[in-house]
Amino acid sequence: METKSEIIKKGIADLLELPRDIVLDLPKITLVGNLQLYIENHKGIIEYSTGLIRINTKSGILVVTGSDLSIRTIVIEEIIVVGRIDKVEFLQ
């Protein structure tokens, strides 16, 4: 359920034509083929192995499964995952 502040933020973002991912601090996920995944606005890594990576976001837990997975870059706002990506899903 959305809070009043989230509804107001969405309205302001729409009115001012600002990107919702920035205003609402939502994750932005970009998949390049099945080889690379960019995650912006993450909240940290929960689990990491070569077959499974779980990343915390404001929208829930992002689960990446595949093989030979590795984290190429991790900074405050961005994570880059490389390897053979089979599945990307959100758990609420």
User: Has residue 23 got a pLDDT over 60?
Assistant: no
Q: Where are the domains of the chain?
A: 26-91
42-50 long-range contacts, CB within 8 A, separation 24+: 42/77, 42/78, 42/79, 45/71, 45/74, 45/79, 50/83
Residue predicted with more confidence, 23 or 17: 17
* Structure confidence by residue, pLDDT tens digits, 34-86: 999 999 989 999 999 999 999 999 889 999 999 999 999 999 889 999 999 99
- Its CATH class, for the domain covering 26-91, is mainly beta
The whole-number pLDDT of residue 1 equals: 61
Q: What angle do CA 50, 64, 71 make, to 5 degrees?
A: 50
